Structure 1
Amino acid sequence: MKQHESDPEPPPPGGILWDIAGEVRSLLALPAALTLQVAHPAVGAGVDEHSVFRTDPWGRGERSLRSVMLWVYGGDAAAQEGRRLRQLHRTIRGTDTRGRSYHALTPAYYAWVHATGFPVYRQAQRYLGRRPFTEAQERRLYAEWLQVGRILGLRDRDMPQTVEEFWPYYRKVLADEIELTTVVRELVAVDVPVPPPDRGPLPVRLALRALWPVLLPPLARFRRFLTIGLMPPDAREAIGLPWTPVQERRLRRFGAVVRRVTPLLPERLRYLPMARRARTAEAARAR
């Protein structure tokens, strides 16, 4: 039973988000979405001043990923997670780099954080999916993303309600707001210290700690490559992030490998645990 009768419904089983949000290749696009979010001065300032992403990057990433999984696969727990996030953000306020007061739940800022997922999913599909989304699939994906927005507490008036309305809104934010913020610089840097992972079995953590000085530089370069490459080109240009034809060819080759390998994986390796459990339960109900 729902916690509240008026709770918004999560995206439907069998929808596009059920197919892609919990799949391992979607993890590759998350850094691009996060970076596009914090390219907004107000969002970037909030993360710069209030987030623990510098001191606890692995914990922060784990909590963010769990949230995304709950929005899509959490059933009744989806709306509960939306309420938890709104409560968490109630005290986040300050002044951005343009001297404007911000609050994390200001609809324009909160909506932008959510809105970035749609163009990044669309961009990632071009490289990592079997084929780009059709026009009908884009419309369905956007409708499902609006459902997620309602779970997060966004009202319909806070977000464009159709794909046709979304793109002018998106381009206006790129033109008027987006910039190379301090947090963006850190997220695409290859020389920012990052502690080794502190999750998993103790032997693995100890091995990673010993090897971390050797592993971190190539991992940082790979993260930068994917973060910039899987960001929509117009957003990349608005922020001022460089991208070369050589990098584009490398990304296309990488995407071709991902497209071939991912469908061959068994469900237990292809989907994250929460997504796999939800998909298995739904398949059992459908039988």
Structure 2
Amino acid sequence: MPAHGPDPTHPTEPTEPTGPRAVEPLGPDSLTWRWFGDWRGLLLAPWAGSMQNMHPELGAGVAEHSRFFEERWERLFRSLYPIGGVVYDGPLAARTAREVRGYHASISGVDGRGRPYHALNPDTFYWAHATFFMLTVQVAERFGGGLTEAQRHTLFDEHVRWYALYGLSMKPVPRSWEEFQRYWDHMCADVLEDNRPARDVLNMRRISRPPLLRWLPSPLWALVRVPMVRLMLWMTIGMYPQAVRERLGLRWTPLDERLLRMLGRLVHHAWRCVPERRRFHPRARAGWDRERGRPAKGPVETPARNLPPEGRRGLRQHYVPES
């Protein structure tokens, strides 16, 4: 991976995926549809956010341009809509991918060590995508009953199609599942950094109530928050690769691993009691409804409660659907 991306003062916009590069979006026959929009992915939110932010360029962009830590839940829940749409929007997936790419076009600068960065540097953008792919794998492996080796290969092939919709260079993309594993190990051992944006993701001591628990009185939330945060951090540490745990100075024992596997099996079996439509994020649910012939007006957009602060809604990096 290069030490830095394109000249941030002259970012290069990628070309549209037309002609030979046109890509068929993923559909309901894909394994990615089965796993990516599943609500169990929220269990990996701190894992995905910290893994992304440990990338030097991505972390620098977050540190300088993002207000994630001032509106943590809102930012998380609104991002799920367009990112999920690249998987579940069917004939509109390529348009959604261009919109997501566009949110990153103005994110550039120079980090504290003098290294230029740009969010559309293909190496940087692909790393974020790679974490979403591995989140899908982790949901299936840890909380969904497991994957066969053939299914891992299938998910890899599908993540390549998914990434191609963005229209960026495919040069950083490994050519096989085996090559991806070497790429992943290299990134975790040799590229990722222990930095402030990653640590901030893991700092949930004063996290506000999640939307699901907004009805909970504040004093009761103050009591529930402590064990909840400890559980989330413990699960996050368990899902890190060992090289990342070592980089962050975190401890994980064989007993921890056994307990996490037991918890994963419990979640897997309990999830079967949840009605199928309720297992999926609204954007994913809309995709399933469309494919099953249920009436739909189009992709479901985030509700107003998740929008950025009024004064920032005109910025290019924010997803703000038309009302």
Structure 2 length normalisation: TM-score?
0.77
Higher mean C-alpha displacement, 135-144 vs 208-217: 208-217
Identity over aligned pairs, percent: 36
Query: One-letter code of the match for 1:215?
Result: V
CA distance, structure 1, for counterparts of residue 163 and residue 278 of structure 2: 28
Structure 2 counterpart of 1:245, from 241, 249, 254: 254
CA distance, structure 2, for counterparts of residue 257 and residue 114 of structure 1: 28
1:137 aligns with 2:151: yes
1:244-283 matches, within 5 Å, as 244-283=253-292
Change (3 A) 1:163 1:19: same
Query: One-letter code of the match for 2:193?
Result: E
Once the 2 structures are TM-superposed, how far is the Cα of residue 205 of structure 1 from its aligned partner?
3.6
- 1:169-188 CA distance string (max 9 Å, x none): 22222232112111221222
CA distance, structure 2, for counterparts of residue 113 and residue 214 of structure 1: 34
Once the 2 structures are TM-superposed, how far is the Cα of residue 88 of structure 1 from its aligned partner?
1.6
Query: One-letter code of the match for 1:276?
Result: R
CA contact (8 A) 2:69 2:200 kept: no
1:153 equivalent in structure 2: 167
Structure 1 counterpart of 2:183, from 152, 155, 169: 169
Change (3 A) 1:208 1:142: farther
Query: One-letter code of the match for 2:258?
Result: R
CA distance, structure 1, for counterparts of residue 204 and residue 53 of structure 2: 18
Higher helix proportion (structure 1 or 2): 1
1:85 aligns with 2:100: yes
CA distance, structure 2, for counterparts of residue 96 and residue 52 of structure 1: 17
- 1:58-117 CA distance string (max 9 Å, x none): 110012211232011112332222222222211211223543111111111111111122
Structure 1 counterpart of 2:143, from 128, 140, 145: 128
- 1:102-133 CA distance string (max 9 Å, x none): 111111111111112233433343321212x2
CA contact (8 A) 1:120 1:230 kept: no
1:195 aligns with 2:208: yes
CA distance, structure 2, for counterparts of residue 86 and residue 20 of structure 1: 23
1:15 equivalent in structure 2: 30
Structure 1 length normalisation: TM-score?
0.86
1:56 equivalent in structure 2: 71
Query: One-letter code of the match for 2:276?
Result: E
CA contact (8 A) 1:48 1:183 kept: yes
- 1:207-234 CA distance string (max 9 Å, x none): 4545432232222212212222223334
CA distance, structure 1, for counterparts of residue 223 and residue 279 of structure 2: 28
Structure 2 counterpart of 1:40, from 49, 52, 55: 55
Once the 2 structures are TM-superposed, how far is the Cα of residue 284 of structure 1 from its aligned partner?
4.0
Query: One-letter code of the match for 1:173?
Result: M
Once the 2 structures are TM-superposed, how far is the Cα of residue 144 of structure 1 from its aligned partner?
0.8
Once the 2 structures are TM-superposed, how far is the Cα of residue 164 of structure 1 from its aligned partner?
2.4
Query: One-letter code of the match for 1:275?
Result: A
Change (3 A) 1:211 1:10: farther
CA contact (8 A) 1:43 1:104 kept: yes
1:114 aligns with 2:129: yes
CA contact (8 A) 2:17 2:167 kept: no
CA distance, structure 1, for counterparts of residue 183 and residue 17 of structure 2: 32
Query: One-letter code of the match for 1:172?
Result: H
- In structure 2, runs of 5+ residues without a counterpart are 1-15, 295-323
SS of the aligned residue for 1:76 comes to helix
CA contact (8 A) 2:194 2:248 kept: yes
Once the 2 structures are TM-superposed, how far is the Cα of residue 157 of structure 1 from its aligned partner?
1.8
Structure 2 counterpart of 1:180, from 176, 194, 202: 194
CA distance, structure 2, for counterparts of residue 240 and residue 41 of structure 1: 18
